[in-house]
Amino acid sequence: MSKSGDTSLNSIKLLHDQIEAIKYGIQLLRKNEKDTIASINKQIVNNKRLYHERYKYLNELEESKEKYAEQIEIYENLFKQGYSSIDEINNQRARYFSQRALYDNIKTELIQQESMILNLQNEIEVQKNNFREKIIQYEIQKSDLDIRLLEFESVSEIIINSPIDGIVDSISATVGQIIKEGDPLSQLSPVEKGRYQLVMWVPNSAIPFVKLNDEINIRYEAFPFEKFGQFKGNIKSISTLPASLQELSFYKNIPLEINQNIPLYKIIVDIPDQHIIYNHKALFLMSGMKAEATLFLENRKLYEWMLFPLYQLTKNME
């Protein structure tokens, strides 16, 4: 593999690692958020429980305070009647003020408790916002890395889908090789073989005389005609435009002696005989075989063929 290929793979691996690290960080943040909110809610529950207990105690103190106030009135009335002393009244007043001071302290604690509960509830929203902001920052980083990863993968890896179901017979490219559009990468052998057809290249001097369904004689290079004879074929398709160099490069059966300045037209020939019987055995055609063919461009009488050179000479002398 080339160094550039190694660099691309390392960059892709690094991006994958960073993305996984960010995903893990987001998971930790969400877990910490859940734990933090649960802890604050637990504190709120405890404070509410304490608040209700102290509030209940405050009500008891209020009842007790009212009773002490009533006791003071009773002792003052008894004092007026001569049944009580000033010391007893002072004792009742001391108890009352002590109870009142305790009542005021508990009431202050309840106010503080309410404030603490409100602060904890606000803290939940603050923590949620803080965690949400951190998660959003991580998700933005992950999105940027996803885009960079997509860019790297789009350059370093291209998935090519086969138009047919088949088996890869051979691979024309190697790992790390630089390829361009039109380069062959592999050869496929289709699962369903179908019928073989012959691809032929006809020069522009002959293409006007070629017609659909014309019969031709085929000679396969793998089956010498001296031994196997010639085989019939029928023209099924005729290209109306000359083949481009790019199209010609796809095929290996282009005659080497053909002048590149001469336009070539592609014709497709249907082959009735898909196999050849030899010594009681069937010999099957295979993809990529080379063949030659004889085209019957026109019909002439025998004397016309004999006099054709003289006709050409006369025409040249005019």
Determine the Cα–Cα distance for residues 152 and 148; give it in Å rounded to an integer: 6
Q: Which two tokens stand for residue 177?
A: 């090789």
Do 235 and 268 form a contact (C-beta atoms < 8 A)? yes
Do 210 and 295 form a contact (C-beta atoms < 8 A)? yes
Q: Tell me, what's the pLDDT at 308?
A: 61
Sign of CA dihedral 109, 114, 117, 123: negative
* Ordered structural domains, the chain, with CATH: 3-155 (1.10.287.1490), 194-315 (2.40.30)
- DSSP letter at 243 equals P
Residue whose pair of structure tokens reads 């691809």 in the numeric block: 199
Q: Tell me, what's the pLDDT at 200?
A: 87
Determine the Cα–Cα distance for residues 72 and 91; give it in Å rounded to an integer: 9
- For residue 140, give every residue at least 6 positions away whose Cβ sits within 8 Å of its Cβ, in sequence order, or none: none
Confidence of residue 313 (pLDDT cuts 50, 70, 90): low
Q: Tell me, what's the pLDDT at 158?
A: 63
Q: Tell me, what's the pLDDT at 5?
A: 45
Q: Is residue 296 over pLDDT 50?
A: yes
Question: Residue 270 pairs with which residues in a beta bridge?
Answer: 197, 234
DSSP symbols for 265-293: EEEEEE-S-SEEEETTEEEE--TT--EEE
Confidence of residue 176 (pLDDT cuts 50, 70, 90): low
Average model confidence (pLDDT) for the chain? 82
Q: Tell me, what's the pLDDT at 2?
A: 39
Please calculate the CA angle 168-172-175 and round it to the nearest 5 degrees.
Answer: 100
The tens digit of pLDDT for each residue in 120-164 reads 999 999 999 999 999 999 999 999 888 888 877 666 556 677 777
Confidence of residue 3 (pLDDT cuts 50, 70, 90): very low
Confidence of residue 4 (pLDDT cuts 50, 70, 90): very low
Q: Is residue 83 over pLDDT 50?
A: yes
Number of H helices, E strands in the chain: 5, 9
Determine the Cα–Cα distance for residues 170 and 211; give it in Å rounded to an integer: 36
Q: What is the mean pLDDT of residues 83-101?
A: 87
Q: Tell me, what's the pLDDT at 40?
A: 93
Residue whose pair of structure tokens reads 């559009």 in the numeric block: 181
Q: Tell me, what's the pLDDT at 33?
A: 93
More confident call, 32 vs 287: 32
Q: Which two tokens stand for residue 165?
A: 């179901």
Determine the Cα–Cα distance for residues 131 and 125; give it in Å rounded to an integer: 10
Q: What is the mean pLDDT of residues 215-227?
A: 88
Determine the Cα–Cα distance for residues 89 and 100; give it in Å rounded to an integer: 16
Beta strands 166-171 and 215-220 are unpaired
The tens digit of pLDDT for each residue in 45-79 reads 999 999 999 999 889 888 888 888 888 888 888 88
Q: Is residue 226 over pLDDT 80?
A: yes
Q: What is the mean pLDDT of residues 104-132?
A: 92
- DSSP letter at 242 equals P
Please calculate the CA angle 242-244-245 and round it to the nearest 5 degrees.
Answer: 135
Q: Is residue 1 over pLDDT 50?
A: no
More confident call, 89 vs 268: 268
* Percent of the chain at pLDDT exceeding 90: 26
Q: Which two tokens stand for residue 234?
A: 């029928």
